[in-house]
Structure 1
Amino acid sequence: MAFTEEQEAKLTKLLAAFENGKRINELDPAVGELSAMQIEVMDETGETHRMELERAVSEAGNPIAGRWWNSTNATTKAAGWFGSLEALKKLPETLGLGRYLVADDRTMRKLDPKDSTRFEDGSPAALDGTMGQCMWCWSRPWYFTRWSDGEGDKWAITLKPIPGKKSYRIPVGGVSWLDAAVMDRTEQKLCSVISDDERYRGGNGSARPDTDPKKPAANTPQASMLGMPATAISTTNFGTYARKRGEGWEANWFVARAAVEILITVIMGDRNIQAVYNPERDADGLMQGGFGSGVTTMGWQEWSDYNGCYPLVPTNVGLEMGDGTGLVSYSLPASEGGDQGTPYKTFQVPVFFGLVHAGYGHLWRWVRGLTINQEAGVKTEVYVAKSMAASFNPNSIEGLKKVAECPQAEGYIKRVSYEGLCGMPTEVGGSPTTCFPDYFYTNGKTQTGLRVRAAGGHAYSGANAGAFCSGAHSAATNAGANYSSLLCFFAEDPVIE
């Protein structure tokens, strides 16, 4: 085969380049800042591309499980992933997400991923508190980092801080997998147990009176409140009852709440937790979508007539899911005078790697360690406690750290701040299907004073509910039939610097 003159010239240049090539130890030392240096890499597409050397070194020892959202539009679905696709796929496994029994000294014992009534070694596990509290945990510490750049809003979970950025450390810990409170009425301690013993009677600690117009039969959990979450307790008292368990225990400390919101958002890749449930993985093998309406479709009057807006879903619902993710169908018993063959209402209860309700719907969740200071018509400020180990007074902002300002108008959320892991809205004006598609409730325009956060919404919230939903209109002394909290713990103090 004969070459043209042009081809011969190119071959001559290639041969000269090969002969003049140098070994690495023959190259001149590089000059300049590390941040300016680049290397050639072959990525997952099989093609070669350039990459900043500093980033390559950092991510090799600290892979990023990240999602990013396009800041130029209001779409709730992540525009893509970044960092390590493998790290994102394996994030639940890496962090050890799932159900554990946790003793008061915070010793954690993993339950079988497919059967929460036994431990990993096959031995039986009691869920009545005698072997520990029923907790949904992450078994290793992790960091959350959020920033915006030319691509958009980036959320990253790593095992070490990301150099040059503000990373928040989440110590080993967890929350009640029931996503609501249980009260030991004998010892006045906050619990996370599954039991229909009178000692743990839910609601306000009493059976429902025989006055609800559409009451269920007296032997049902919705009437007896046996085996149901505890409500009608203020956030202050929930915190007091949680701390009776000892060091490291609290009632839905804001860092624990932030961890739930962040993990669901990054793993699912959608800010709309009420997006249609999709059990299939996307083209990259990642989870996608949300969990649908969940337990949010109960009309207010319907709920009030049924059982006075007290808990609807027993604590044992979703038990069979283990560490699984999906929906569990649950039907409310018929009204006492209604057709006993027809349920009063049926819900599709979300479960996220074992966390029942997935942080939204059914009952509001009081959040501790976060105080909202509002001056009517002027401004609404958000403060967080720097330490969970110290005492916390929700009636003062002394010693707290200011991290954000909220709008004084209600509305669907457009922006959320995670400064100090507060998870509070900073702008409204969105919708049920855009931005952070949950509702912000506030009375900041007309009332002055200190407020606490309630998170997630309740059975009447409908599209307003969600991971980012916040009620900021209640004082720390408030209590309600549809307000609960949840036991949480940390292996070490979740300090906010």
Structure 2
Amino acid sequence: MALTTEQENKLVSMLAAFENGKRINELEDAQGAVGQMLIEVMDETGETRKAELGAAVENASNPIAGRYWNENNATPTAAGHYGSLQALRDLPKKLGLGRYLVADDRTRRKLDPVDSTRFEDGSPAALDGSMGQCMWCWNAHYFTTWKEGNNTVLAVTFAPIAGKNSIYVPAGGISWMDAAVMDRTNLKLCSVISDAEQYRGGGGKALTASSYTKAPAADAPQLTMLGMPATAISTTNFGNYARKRGEGWEANWFVARAVVEYLFEIIMGTRNSQAAFNAELDSNGLYQGGFGTGVTNMPDWGNYNGTYPLIPTRVGLEMGDGVGLVECKLPATAESESEAYHTFSVPVFFGLVNAGFGSLWRWVRGLTISQTAGEKTEVYVAKSMFADFNPSSVEGLLKVAECPQKEGYIKRKSYNGLCCMPTEVGGSASTYCSDYFYTNGSSQTGLRVRAVGGSANHGTFAGASFTIASYTASTANAICSSPLCFFAEDPQIE
């Protein structure tokens, strides 16, 4: 087929351009800032696109593992991933998420990822405290959040992101039971699995079956409290008992709690802890969905055992570092012929039992809420965990947020200073953060502490963001616990 004159001219021009082309070493030096330079890349879609040279270099050496949410939409599900898809897939492994035994000097030893009763080398691991505390750990990293137009980005990296306020989070961990265990002999906060009297849970005493109209048999752990989490201790005392282990130990310090919250959101891609569980990865190889109702739908808890702990510390042990649900059947009432009083599907998040919500409230340390009735509610955090902490004053603390003075489902929350506190309500059980916020700020003045996650009878109110800000630091309650935590370095907030 003969070419037209116009086609011939184009072909000649293309040939001339090819022949006159230069090798890279023959080009003149580029002018201007690196951030203004563009390069041609093939992205993960397989399409050829442009990219800023500076951003490409930074992302190659410090890949961003993140998700973003379009704040114009009410859905709690992330609108997409941000940064490197591969970095997000690899994030749990690179963080080293999973179960460890941690000695009082904070040296840690990894357990087998599928069998928590042995170490990675196959040798047996004792979970009774003789070899260390049972902890769910992470490696040091940076957490960053920022806005891009209508989108809110949450990201984890292993170096600061240039131009952003990246917060350094040292290597650390929190009890993999997501609840406290008390050494009653030495008055130390623990994270062990043991039925010994020394570690009796609840308030430290067995419960009396005759006190409850729907009680199980007297030898049920839900009454003996053997092998159960500890409750009915104030957040102040939980912190004091944790610090007896030495420097670097605390009781659910707010930074450790923040790690649980933002890693759930980034890795699972939702703000709704109670979204339906989906064992399958999505088309990008990413986790999706929440953990269903979890331990939040207990019927008539008060008449069963007076709202004391329900889930033994050994529940979920067989999951190792896995992600999924474990069935837990409560013993039937003494008079009942049924198999179980109630059955829970207990969440496990890479080895973290309960995945940050349900079962028992978790007191949070290092965060103080100052409310003036009818005016404002301010949130303060401690700048250092290794320093003394006084929950009765905000002197020396850093103000990071203000909360609404009315309760409701959380619409927005702040990550400033890793406080993870609600800043706006007006959502629902299936929109935005999907969790509830309790407060008495409109009618009461004073200092309050944060309790988070909800307990076994809070239903759709519960979730990783669920917050109550109505109690003082001296409050002790049967439904409130506080998991042991540690950091290899002081988690300082600037």
Does TM-score exceed 0.5, indicating one fold?
Answer: yes
Describe the superposition over 1:419-439 as per-residue Cα deviations: whole angstroms up to 9, x where unpaired: 000000000001001111100
Question: Whole-Å Cα distance in 2 between the matches of residues 457 and 71 of structure 1?
Answer: 25
What is the letter of the counterpart of residue 420 of structure 2?
A: G
Tell me the residue number matched to 2:469: 472
Equivalent position SS for 1:93? helix
Distance in 2 (alpha carbons) for counterparts of 1:274 and 1:123:
37
User: How far off is 1:151 after superposition?
Assistant: 5.5
CA contact (8 A) 2:141 2:156 kept: yes
**Deviation sequence 1:451-482 (CA, Å, 0-9, x none):** 00001000111111001111100000001000
> 2:453, 2:238 → 1: CA distance?
17
The alignment partner of 1:416 has SS state of: strand
Measured in 1, the distance between the counterparts of 2:456 and 2:318 equals: 22
Code of the residue aligned with 2:65 in structure 1: it is A
Residue 101 of structure 1 and its aligned partner are, at CA, apart by 0.2
Match of 2:347 in 1: 350
User: SS of the counterpart of 1:346?
Assistant: strand
| Equivalence map 1:83-482=2 (5 Å) | 83-138=83-138, 140-150=139-149, 152-209=151-208, 210-299=210-299, 302-339=300-337, 341-482=338-479
Runs of 4+ in 1 over 3 A off after TM superposition: none
Q: Which moved more, 1:377-386 or 1:76-85?
A: 76-85
Residue deviations 1:357-412, cap 9 Å, x none?
A: 00000000000000000000000000000000000000000000000000000000
After superposition, the C-alpha distances for 1:145-196 in whole angstroms (9 at most, x for unaligned) are 0001136111110000000000011100000000000000000000000000
Give 2:330's aligned amino acid. L
Q: CA deviation at 1:26?
A: 2.5
Question: Identity of paired residues, percent?
Answer: 68
- Structure-2-length-normalised TM-score: 0.99
What is the letter of the counterpart of residue 216 of structure 1? P
Q: Report which stretch shifted further, 9-18 or 118-127.
A: 9-18
Which residue type is aligned with residue 354 of structure 1?
G
Residue number in structure 2 paired with 1:33:
33
Shift, 1:29, TM fit: 2.3
1:214-257 deviation per Cα after TM superposition (whole angstroms, max 9, x unaligned): 11111110010000000000000000000000010000000000
Q: Which amino acid aligns with 2:460?
A: A
Could you tell me the TM-score, scaled by structure 1's length?
0.98
Corresponding pairs, count: 493
2:72 aligned residue: 72
Query: Counterpart of 2:378 in 1: which secondary structure?
Result: strand
CA distance in 2, matches of 1:53, 1:437: 39
Cα-to-partner distance string for 1:291-342 (whole Å, 9 max, x where unaligned): 000000013xx10000000000000000000000100011100011222x33
Q: Could you say what the CA RMSD is over the residues aligned between the two structures, in angstroms?
A: 0.9
1:10 deviates by: 1.5
> AA paired with 1:162?
I
In the alignment, the residues of structure 2 paired with residue 245 and residue 303 of structure 1 have an alpha-carbon distance, to the nearest angstrom, of 34
> 1:6: how far off?
2.5
